[in-house]
Structure 1
Amino acid sequence: MTALRAPLSSMPRFLLLLLFVLSALRAEEQIEFFATRLDSNLSVVHASGDVLVLYKSYYLSANEAYFDRNSSTLELFGNIVAMQGSEYFAMGDYAKLDIAKKSREFSPFFMLDRHTNVWMSSSRSGAEDKDFTVEDGMVSGCDPNDPFWVLYFSSADFDSESRWMNVYNAYLKIYGIPVFYFPYFGYSLDNRRRSGLLVPSFGVSSTEGFFVEQPVYIAIDPSWDVELRPQLRTERGEGVYGKFRFVDSNVSEGMVQAGYFQEKSSYVDTYDLANSNHYGFDFFYTNTAVLQRWLGLDLPGQSGLYADISWMNDIDYINLSSNDTVNYATSNQVLSRVNLFYNEEDAYYGMNLRYYLDLNKQSNADTPQNLPILRYHRYINTFLDEHVYYTFDLRGNNIFRETGMRAVEGEVDLPVTLQTSALEDYLLLSYSARLNGKYITFGNEPTTVSAIPAGGEYETGLFGRIYHVFNAGTQVTKAFEGFSHTAGLDLAYTKAGVDDATGYYKTQQSLCSGSDAALYPECDFYAVNEIEEALDLKFSQFFVNDVGEQVLYHRLSQRLSFDRNQDQLSELENELDWQVTPEVSLYSDVFYNYDNHRVSKMLNGIRYSDGALNVGAMDLYEDQPDVNGTQRVNYLTFDAAYRYNDHYRYFGRYAYDLEANVKKFSEIGFDYTKRCWKFGMRYVENNRPILTNAQADSLLEKYVYFTIELRPIGGTEVNYKLSDALDGS
């Protein structure tokens, strides 16, 4: 074996999923030839017999090679194989590289990307500098001997600098059957953001007709992008949703989303919808150094701004934002929040805005809003050799609404704690004196007054209180063979001290301290909790195995009341979290009511997971007393997934309201996955809320979803809505 080195001026590099290319060469760098036979004169090098051409990490092998020093042209013949490390693989019968002109030609051409298993074959490929072309080609991610899908095209071109590929006259075949034809499409071969069309979404509904959504992505500037999602539902209406995302600094980013949908009058009449159009917006923003960046302040502490704001005219703004409503939580209560804070070593300063939107109501003009809440917190300070601790909290709350009474409320808290230990630190003892004060004043005019006159319903009020809490606790740990056990016991005795009230807090005390306070609008602003003399007991224990994993956690909580107006025994809580075996886990949280002699609330769940099978069940039961008596909640959820083998996975979910005898949600389906494609089908029933002229209602929707993914080029999901009906009927 002999070797010959020749200096070259340049050589292009490999392309991802496309063409074999060699990396750029500098004039002083060398290319090496290895062959069984080498012939050379002043201008031409001829290599034959097991030819190997090397440059850095690039390898070329062929039966025969010619290199012309004068024209800087390299020609390869027969069984050409090219690799860069173990990443890319290409082969053909003929290759010509003009180093001076930076052009390359291959015919025929085959390339395999070992990382994604995507291969490409064509009759001819060529390149000129940074531009590449492919003629009469095909591409797939499947086994080349029996491909499930192949994408054929008449020609394609690729810009190695922008990493963008254009494909012309492309048609997709699945098992040899033509499925789709694309006159043109383009896509990126890297993860850089760029403008273009995103994957469309399709669906068919017996009530909404044909659904189509074609997202458009706009990315002109690195600091922002826009996504527009126009949609058409042929029997219901049309609309558009949009999302604007931005990064305004290295410590802040945000997003604005808005949408509008116009209903057809026939659909509005059929379902008696409260609104013929649905619109809203969402705004999210976070900044982790807002005071330093916006105001230029040189502050040692941390400042931050967090905003999560949503507004909509009704719940269908959410329901229509996607073709798959199952993936969206359609709660009827929407909370918008804005938090601004500054945090330093000794204190915290905050301003919070809270806006509540009840989508069951036609108008939220009478809904109380917190605009804003001002907070100051002084962190724990100690003195007397760290035996005395104290903190300080100050809060101001502006309770605003368009109609009805408004209020401005202030509150101060000052707990002072004396702490020590006994019995060689096995017992921790503490005493806390807790001071609390409130102030409230009102404005505007009440819309309603309760039937029971109280007198001075909205008079400026003051409230002051001091009460006492005594704590005693211990915790011990003992190690055993294979596990350790920790047990703790805590007792807290609360003693009511002195209360003093004037104005609103005095006149409304008896009315708003009762169990039916929610009936009276005067009690909307009464936020005084009665302090009862009581003893709280808590026992907890947990077991940890020898590798540090928690095996069991158990907690018992009980309150004993010494107040004559309260039940002596409050509800007993028993919480258990137990990893029974490596596959089986159990969770239970149960509340027992002594007066009613029954369980008042419980959350029980069990799960089995062994890698192939994952199945779980959860049940929530609760007695909720209200003005009409006791309302029961009994909600059951079940989920299961089973991976039969590397290809098949089956899954299902189920949610049922046992008390209302209404199915809330169900889903069953399967996935079939192979190297180059994935197919899935699922049947879904979903009970989602809507707003009608009469009241808040719900629709039971039935869907069949089909998912197909051609890896790695992507895929889509198509659904068919079988039916929908009011009230789950």
Structure 2
Amino acid sequence: MTEPNRARKNRQRAAVAAPDQRPANRRGTLALRPLVFAVAGVWTATSAAQSADTTQATAPAVTPASSVTALATSGPTTPGGSPLVPKMAEPVQRPDNTVPTFTAADKMDGRTNEDIHLRGHGELRRNGSVLKGDTLDYNQDTDVATATGNVRLFKGGTLVTGPDAKLKVTANEGTISTPTYEFHTTGGHGTADRIDFIDKDNSRITRGTYTTCSPDNVDWYFSASRIDIDSDRQVGTGRNGVLHFFGVPVFAAPIMDFPLNDDRRSGFLAPVFGYNSRSGTDITLPYYFNIAPNRDLTLYPRLLSQRGLQLGAEYRYLGTSYNGVLRGEFLPDDREAGRNRWSISALHTQRLAPGLTGYINYNKVSDNTYPDDLGRSIVTATQRQYTQEGGVTYSFGDWIATARVQKFQTLSTATTPLAAPYERLPQLSLTYNKYDLGGFDVNFLTDYTRFSIPTANTVQGERLFMQPTISYPIIRPGWYVTPKFILNTTAYRLDRPAGDTQDTQINRTLPTFSLDSGMTFERDAPLVTKLFGVNYIQTLEPRVFYVYTPYRDQSQIPLFDTGQSDYNLGQIFTENPYTGYDRIADNNKLTAGVTTRFIEAESGIERLRATIAQRIDFEGQRVTLAGAAPTSVRRYSDLLGATTIQMFRGIFFDTNLQYNQDIDRIMRSTVAFSWKPEANKVINLGYRYYRQDANTGQLPLEQADISTQWPITRRLYGLGRIGYDLDARKPSDMLLGLEYVADCWVGRLAVQRYSNAVSGYTTHIFAQIEFKGLSKVGNNPIDVIRLNVPGYQPVTAQPITPSVLDQYE
């Protein structure tokens, strides 16, 4: 294989390093990982094992006919007496002075223990490194190797070429003029005016470049007037560095440190650029401090063109028994709001003793519109409650004890008014779980909570709840029956506002009995097998669930933490339709349902599942959230149905239906369809319909959405999502974007628009360029796209696994 062909082959097979796959490390904006390996130690490692006073033993006479000669006193030889060349996978790595040096050439001559001259394809191998040249001279007295003409230096997957090289082997000093370098592990390459090896740990590149683009199509490259390499500290320092993109300088720095390996290093991170319709142009330049292996600090000053300069910081720490994150942001004198804006966040967890853990989760913002104005995405911009809590948990055997305090900051605006929830000051709980105790499952829950609320003229108080449960599961092949008994005991001590004459002490004890049962039948499905050409099994799984709880008037009990559970196929087979402990529904109800599944016999993959269920109320439930008796009693609940289909590869269909037989209306319906034929191709369709229901408080809703990622050309991909409000007849949210993948870079552009709680809509613009093997610049839209486009995969060139034969010299 010719040298140009070998270089092209190497470039074609090189793997691109992916910084996203190392989330634990913070990298500099221009992290020249491969450049390190190439220059810092390429030649120094070649000669590190030989000392300056190495004495060469008498060597055999060298004749022009010799093809391989070893300047060594010993070593493995062929049956003919010639030394063996080290194998590819077995490089010689000896720490002493006995490392052999192998030479080869068309013609060799020299003087024993003084010098050797190689003419025509000269080659010197030592300790896994290779130096080649048209001519190669090595003086043992001065320990200097001089190569001229087509010089090639190969070490550890890095190839350096140039017209000439002069290297002092043991002292690790030398120069290669006008070199080019290629990196087998990343596919990167570059050129320089010269490389100077100062000692075994330090080297200098003069006017060097680096890129991962193909030599025929260099879309981007990084250049620096000088790059100093310190391989001992694994740090490189670039002077007057410039990043060029299509010939245009896009980033420059007079001095910049970058890591030479994957270890975390202090320094600037990639700048983040974006646009927000509420704050204007958004530029963030983070600086990373690597304080210790288990502690770091990131400062992220953020310039908002319409508001001013915001300062932010994030401190992370990790210990053997604790970890946490502290965050803070401060915007002095917001030009739009006319006041200081800030946010703080603290999350800490710690193992205090064996079985004992504690945590703190505290979040607070300066005002009610902070997330709308300064949120970085739809997730943070729509957050309306900030948790402030701390607690401890102790586990011992089958018991778990928990204590916590919990408060909330609720952000209420004129357009989105929200009521503050009750605070738990404190909450103490004790649970016991024991399974298969003589065939019985035994559970015991005790919970004491002091509820407080900042809203005036609102009832507050204490609640003690105890709930022992015992069940006896009977499970046999093809069927099961589980009887269960629950005793719900609650005591309240209330502080009612002035003028409220209701009881301040309330006790409530309610027993609950339930019986859950089911069967499973299965058979072959010949029609489906014939249709799809795969053996299928069909199951039929009927289920019957009965629950009884007597009625108690609970109209005087406040609602501290209780609400209506979502009515679905999971909830319909439970004992209580309410969350929390303030309402225990009276029940004399029977739920019947049936599920059928189609399963591939060989693989066990479930291709289709369909379920239908309904609850029969024999007496009519009288307990409600509001306390007043219901105006009407229905014997039959809404009919629930659900279907999931995955019969074809890459196609997924799911639907849920709630149907009211009394009024012959669909109360709720959701439909989801997804087609993902291959990577980077997906189409999603969705539809949601909720009919207004006064009994549950459900508001009307009818929305449809479509999202996709799909190639437009071989390199250009389109993506987006549109959510449309069919009632309001206008879009509710929208995301449109493009991704372009080249040989050595990926560009991403996305525009997101969503409704906010203050002034209608907020628009974000995300733009990012990923320079493969170097860094990313811009505002990362990947998380936002994943949230909006299910099944989205970022486009990137697939790395080719390097072969052991690539660049073998």
Give the TM-score normalised by structure 2. Answer: 0.75
Query: Which letter maps to 1:659?
Result: D
Query: Which letter maps to 2:589?
Result: A
Unpaired stretches in structure 2, ≥5 consecutive residues: 1-33, 50-95, 526-533, 565-577, 622-632, 782-809
Return the match for 2:170 from 100, 121, 128. Answer: 100
1:478, distance to aligned residue in structure 2 (A)? 3.7
Deviations 1:314-338 (A, max 9, x none): 354445556x434645222334454
Query: Which letter maps to 1:653?
Result: R
RMSD: 3.3
1:307, distance to aligned residue in structure 2 (A)? 4.1
Q: Distance in 2 between matches of 1:314 and 1:488?
A: 54
1:69, distance to aligned residue in structure 2 (A)? 1.5
1:570 match: secondary structure: coil
| Mapping 1:520-559, distance limit 5 Å | 527-545=582-600, 546-559=602-615
- Corresponding position of 1:571: 638
Q: Indicate conservation of the 8 Å contact 1:50/1:63, yes or no.
A: yes
Query: Which letter maps to 1:240?
Result: L
For the structure 1 residues 48 and 344, does the alpha-carbon distance in structure 2 shift closer, same or farther, using more than 3 Å as the test? farther
- Corresponding position of 1:286: 349
Q: Distance in 2 between matches of 1:316 and 1:713?
A: 38
- Corresponding position of 2:653: 586
For the structure 1 residues 621 and 109, does the alpha-carbon distance in structure 2 shift closer, same or farther, using more than 3 Å as the test? same
1:599, distance to aligned residue in structure 2 (A)? 1.5
- Corresponding position of 2:799: none
- Corresponding position of 2:502: 456
For the structure 1 residues 622 and 122, does the alpha-carbon distance in structure 2 shift closer, same or farther, using more than 3 Å as the test? same
Q: Indicate conservation of the 8 Å contact 2:608/2:643, yes or no.
A: yes
Q: Distance in 2 between matches of 1:430 and 1:365?
A: 41
| Mapping 1:252-651, distance limit 5 Å | 252-265=322-335, 267-268=336-337, 276-287=339-350, 289-292=351-354, 302-314=355-367, 316-319=369-372, 324-326=376-378, 328=380, 330-338=382-390, 340-360=392-412, 367-384=421-438, 386=439, 388-403=440-455, 404-420=458-474, 425-443=477-495, 446=497, 455-457=501-503, 459-478=504-523, 482-497=535-550, 507-508=556-557, 527-545=582-600, 546-565=602-621, 566-611=633-678, 613-625=681-693, 631-644=699-712, 646-651=714-719
1:141 match: secondary structure: coil
Query: Which letter maps to 2:711?
Result: R
Q: Distance in 2 between matches of 1:44 and 1:538?
A: 93
Deviations 1:45-93 (A, max 9, x none): 22222222222332222222222222222222221222235x2221112
For the structure 1 residues 389 and 206, does the alpha-carbon distance in structure 2 shift closer, same or farther, using more than 3 Å as the test? closer
1:482, distance to aligned residue in structure 2 (A)? 1.8
Q: Distance in 2 between matches of 1:245 and 1:568?
A: 57
- Corresponding position of 1:200: 271
- Corresponding position of 1:135: 206
Higher relative contact order (Cα pairs below 8 Å, separated by 6+ residues): 2
1:718, distance to aligned residue in structure 2 (A)? 6.4
1:610, distance to aligned residue in structure 2 (A)? 0.7
Q: Distance in 2 between matches of 1:355 and 1:57?
A: 64
Query: Which letter maps to 1:390?
Result: V
Q: Indicate conservation of the 8 Å contact 1:438/1:462, yes or no.
A: yes
1:244, distance to aligned residue in structure 2 (A)? 0.7
Give the TM-score normalised by structure 1. Answer: 0.82
- Corresponding position of 1:162: 233
For the structure 1 residues 352 and 615, does the alpha-carbon distance in structure 2 shift closer, same or farther, using more than 3 Å as the test? farther
1:179, distance to aligned residue in structure 2 (A)? 4.5
1:212, distance to aligned residue in structure 2 (A)? 2.7
Q: Distance in 1 between matches of 2:732 and 2:371?
A: 18
Q: Indicate conservation of the 8 Å contact 1:97/1:104, yes or no.
A: yes
Query: Which letter maps to 1:406?
Result: Q
For the structure 1 residues 173 and 290, does the alpha-carbon distance in structure 2 shift closer, same or farther, using more than 3 Å as the test? same
For the structure 1 residues 539 and 456, does the alpha-carbon distance in structure 2 shift closer, same or farther, using more than 3 Å as the test? same
1:716, distance to aligned residue in structure 2 (A)? 1.9
1:425, distance to aligned residue in structure 2 (A)? 4.7
1:225, distance to aligned residue in structure 2 (A)? 1.0
2:353 match: secondary structure: helix
Q: Indicate conservation of the 8 Å contact 2:123/2:136, yes or no.
A: no
Equivalences, count: 658
2:43 match: secondary structure: coil
1:290 match: secondary structure: strand
Deviations 1:248-295 (A, max 9, x none): 22x431101111223545x238xxxxxx332221222334x4323xxx
Aligned-pair identity in percent equals 17
Deviations 1:103-157 (A, max 9, x none): 1311121111122221121121111121111112222221223311232322211
Query: Which letter maps to 1:16?
Result: F
Q: Indicate conservation of the 8 Å contact 2:390/2:404, yes or no.
A: yes
Query: Which letter maps to 1:602?
Result: S
Return the match for 1:702 from 763, 769, 773. Answer: 763
Which stretch shows the higher mean deviation, 655-664 or 109-118? 655-664
Q: Indicate conservation of the 8 Å contact 2:100/2:127, yes or no.
A: no
Q: Distance in 2 between matches of 1:240 and 1:562?
A: 63
Does 1:212 find its partner at 2:283?
yes
**If each structure's strand is expressed as a fraction of its own residues, which one has the higher value?**
1
- Corresponding position of 2:70: none
1:16 match: secondary structure: helix
